[in-house]
Amino acid sequence: MLKPSYPLYVANAAETPNTDLEVRDKYSGEVATRVAMADAATVERAIAAAVEAAPAMAALPPFRRQAVLEHCIARFRERAEELALALCIEAGKPIKDARGEVTRLIDTFRIAAEEAVRIEGQTVNLEISERGRGYRGIWKRVPIGPCSFITPFNFPLNLVAHKVAPAIAAGCPFVLKPAGKTPVGALIIAEILAETDLPRGAFSVFACDNEVAAPLVEDDRIKLLSFTGGLIGWDFKARAGRKKVTLELGGNAACIVDADQGGCLDHVVERLAFGAYYQSGQSCISVQRILAHADVYDALKDKLAAKIATFVAGDPKDEKTFIGPMIDEDAARRLEGWIESARKAGAKVVVGGGRKGNMLEATLLEDVPAHCELQRQEAFGPVALLQRFEDFDSALETANDSDFGLQAGVFTDSLDHAMRAWDRLQVGGVVVGDVPSFRMDNMPYGGVKDSGFGREGVKYAIEDMSEIRLLVIRS
């Protein structure tokens, strides 16, 4: 179980000014714990402390940054089941998936520990003409300075890790606002960071109202804002002023199943079922649109519907549960409305569609009209759409007919089709032979169009959190 209450952290130290935020068990609906909320004065103290800590963080030798990250890794392993249970309760994530996210938390910090001592520069040949004779250039990476991070509810550990771990590796102090519905995981990470010898002010972690968090977006003392969440991120970018901004804003990922997949449909269906319904579809790269060639469409539909029928839905603390609750009833009600709207527009519900509270059945539809929300928007729930195609190029066009562009998947045995997909799909990443939901924590991950810009993946985040400083020497 969770502790009765959790503090917030300002300048590396725990504070409990109140216990105003109720964090509910997403399955039972009961209050699971209470968390301290930050006010405007707390946010100001946190930013000021990060600014003051910036020189000390920049001067922290790489081996000491690495030691901090390695301490965290050891403590995460010791507290792995506690972290998984916290995630299961506050996010409603099935316990097996929650343990998998703890593994990813550890992986992300481990990658950052390795990268902390690899932040290097290079020489630049300046003698490209007579004017450059006798000049030499060298550059290195230096920390950008204080950063602010805002994270969503769906991966309360790993999406925090993808901001916090690179910041420590790069030598940047930070202020983190986790989602108010799921703050506990971030606060446990802060508790572990508080055990280290990071300079005072290196980190602050707290939940707060959105209005109170405005300085994390607008304050010019912050040099980088990294936001993962909804399309409100574009508003944040407009308000951010001169600071660097990176955004990961979701998607409605397409997965293409080519005509040559008839002999391996069982495998394809296993991966589609995972990609579409893992953690109730509450993932930015969840499979939302399945485009299947006419030659395999009917068989794939039947197999996928049969697979969905085997899903166990219920209490996420039960080891057998695959479909847990959505984050709240409003989210489930919204998606239920989208399903009904598509049905009225002519779509067929192949399986599922029912809702009880924040539990929405795993749902598969076909022939959803192009104008429907389920085609145009991010479902962010346990819903997938089936659509047939006759020609591979037309499937690529359909996949691109979206305001989003995070990742796409392609099941094909054709090298030509795989390369054509890589060339033409308007997304940040193309996954061939698997679903778009595949992600390793060292790869450059991010999107285009309304999915945002910038790349996560520790090495690439470190590059965002640093600046190039050039030295020119005349000999």
Catalytic residues: 248, 284
Q: 3-class SS at 407? A: strand
Query: Whole-angstrom Cα distance, residue 175 to residue 194?
Result: 14
Q: What angle separates helix 80-91 from helix 184-193, to the nearest 10 degrees?
A: 150
Query: Whole-angstrom Cα distance, residue 142 to residue 79?
Result: 33
Query: Whole-angstrom Cα distance, residue 249 to residue 446?
Result: 9
45-84 CB burial, b ≥16 within 10 A, e <16: bbbbbbbebbeebbebebeebbbbbbbbbebbeeeeeebb
Query: Whole-angstrom Cα distance, residue 54 to residue 11?
Result: 12
CA 363 to chain centre: 23
Instruction: Give the amino acid at 63.
Output: F
Query: Whole-angstrom Cα distance, residue 327 to residue 89?
Result: 11
Which of 322, 250, 314 minimizes the C-alpha distance to 286? 250
Residue 313 near residue 322 (C-beta atoms within 8 A): yes
Q: What does R_g of the chain's alpha carbons equal in angstroms?
A: 23
The greatest distance separating any two alpha carbons of the chain, rounded to the nearest whole angstrom, comes to: 76
Backbone angles phi, psi at 178, to 5 degrees: -80, 165
Backbone angles phi, psi at 247, to 5 degrees: -130, 135
How many C-alpha atoms does 16 have within 13 Å on its Cβ side? 7
CA 179 to chain centre: 12
Which of 40, 39, 52, 41 minimizes the C-alpha distance to 12? 52
